[in-house]
Amino acid sequence: MPYSIEDSLYNYMKSVYTSSPQTIRSLLGLVYRAIPDSYRYGKIYTQYLALLDKSQWWSKEKIENYQWGKTLKLLHHAYKNVPYYRKLLDERGISIKSVQNFNDFKIIPFLTKEIVRNNFETLLASNFKRSAIMPVTTGGSTGPPLKLFYEKGLSRSMENAFMLTLWRRCGYRPGDKVVVLRGDIINNCNKRAPSYYDPIKNRLVLSSYHMVEGNLNNYIKKISEFKPKYLHVYPSSLNILTRYMVKNNIEHFPTIKCILASSETIYDWQLELFENVFNCKVLHWYGLNELVALAGVCEYSNSYHFFPEYSYVELIDPIDSISGGEDNRILEIVGTSFANNAMPFIRYRTMDFAYKDDKLCKCGRNHSLVKKVIGRKQDFFIDNTGNLLTFTGYTRPIRPIVDKVNAYQYIQEKIGVVSLKLELNGKLSDYETKKIKRVFNKIWPNFVLDIKFVSSIPRTKSGKFRYLIQKLDIS
């Protein structure tokens, strides 16, 4: 398969480009931007854009036929070329000929992060040269990063086509002005609001590591002067900026048409806050570096629509007993990727959980839906009876004192005990502290809540902010 310009130059170009002064970056970026996307991202990119324009309106039967064709082709490839799968299927006595449909497909054992780490070399397809693959890692926000390889000419080109298709749902067109508030590390002399301009994608990239109250007015000024149509954000980063705007009665940016939010679980209270303050749609999505599932909201609904052309997704009952409060239909997301033949992930357990949505969305797409992705297994907690619980609604205890809270974080290190760290901009009375505990125990009676006041709550290495940290081994 011919490689795209991006895949051929990615590792070298990225390091040179990001380390260059702004003047050099602007010159290189403008030259590179002039190259049509079809050349930069390759033939696969163009093919998938054309496919997705039509396939999003396919019938359920046509979708299932397409997915089964891709899955069966992947199984034959994996058995022929991937030592791990050949050994696995032979040891289990599983013949590819016996796998005739998706019900039969369920006899294939799950793949897990631990299996990938322990069988890394044997998961690589033998018919791919090292020059035909590229190394990547997962974010590692809930544990050690997972190393894997992508297929040059397919994985990233396909991903770019899907992301553009998703962003188009809110009117985005390549070249539109975007402000980025994510995990970018920026080193320049402007300590008040470190930033750089990326001419390739016409983006102003702002540091999410310097968002303290004394700097936020400079962030506001830079965004206002840039006049973006879109904000591409971590929800936690935008939350800091939005609450500062509310506190200081700062008007929303009138040029913004939509907020693009990803890479963290987005919570209902955040959606409500962002939509009210910015007076626009929040387009949010779920995806993984493992490329086993991609889902985004649509023009009409906040339910996640899984792209059936990207992977085959199963929603399975988790092995463990998990309680979800008022809605007990918590299912684990399992995915089989169509985007990476170099290192196939078949029936990969993501350890991410969601509430299923059985309704057909009025957008007309016959996609599998989930109401919300509620977090990873590490984001569940164990009460003093041994039950595994999701903390859906965990913002309720702090709602009465939200104006005094800059940041907060729940941590569990002991069964039945949860610590709540609070970074405040004022002091709490004894009554307010006791009220937090009363509300918390009304929702989760089988926990002891320990409140701790801290000067600051750190972010992860990738710039994300974690509201829930599970330190117990619940795997």
Provide the H-helix boundaries in 131-264: 155-167, 216-226, 235-247
pLDDT at 139: 62
Beta-ladder partners of 418: 449
4 CB contacts (<8 Å, ≥6 apart)?
39, 40, 41, 42, 44, 45, 152, 153, 156, 157
Residue type (1 letter), 151: E
Over its C-alpha atoms, the chain yields an Rg (Å, rounded) of 23
pLDDT at 322: 44
Beta-ladder partners of 412: 470
Neighbours of 71 (CB within 10 A): 19
List C-alpha distances in Å: 341 to 4, 28, 74, 338.
Answer: 16, 32, 7, 7
Domains of the chain: 393-470 (3.30.300.30)
Dig out the tokens for 43 from the structure. 């033939």
Provide the H-helix boundaries in 209-321: 216-226, 235-247, 268-278
181 CB contacts (<8 Å, ≥6 apart)?
206, 208, 231, 232, 233, 234, 237, 238, 241
**Bridge-based pairing state of the strands 195-198 and 203-206:** antiparallel
pLDDT at 11: 57
Dig out the tokens for 331 from the structure. 């299912």
pLDDT tens sequence for the chain (475 residues): 556 667 766 556 666 776 677 787 778 778 877 888 877 888 999 999 999 999 999 999 999 999 999 999 999 999 999 999 999 999 999 999 999 999 999 999 999 988 998 999 999 999 999 889 988 887 654 445 688 999 998 999 999 999 999 999 999 999 999 999 987 767 665 677 888 898 989 999 998 878 878 889 999 999 999 999 999 998 888 988 998 999 899 988 999 999 999 888 888 888 999 999 999 999 999 999 999 999 999 999 999 999 999 999 999 986 544 444 444 568 899 999 999 999 999 999 998 888 888 888 999 999 999 998 876 655 678 888 877 676 655 677 887 887 788 778 899 999 999 999 998 888 889 999 999 998 888 878 889 999 999 988 887 666 666 778 888 876 5
Q: From CA 258, how far away is CA 263, in angstroms rounded?
A: 17
Residues 193/217, Cβ–Cβ less than 8 Å: no
For residue 127, the 8-state DSSP code is T
Tally of CA atoms within 13 A in the half-sphere of 448 that contains its CB: 7
pLDDT at 191: 73
Among 174, 163, 157, 175, which Cα is nearest to 41's?
157
pLDDT at 285: 95
Q: What is the crossing angle of helices 60-81 and 83-92, to 10°?
A: 100
pTM of the model: 0.80
Among 389, 450, 378, which Cα is nearest to 417's?
450
Beta strands in 344-414 (DSSP E): 348-357, 369-376, 380-382, 388-390, 405-414
- Scan for tokens 């990326």, then name that residue: 198
7 CB contacts (<8 Å, ≥6 apart)?
42, 134, 152, 153, 156, 157
pLDDT at 41: 86
Residues 298/283, Cβ–Cβ less than 8 Å: no
Longest dimension (CA), the chain: 69
For residue 455, the 8-state DSSP code is S
pLDDT at 260: 97
- Strand, coil or helix: 100: coil
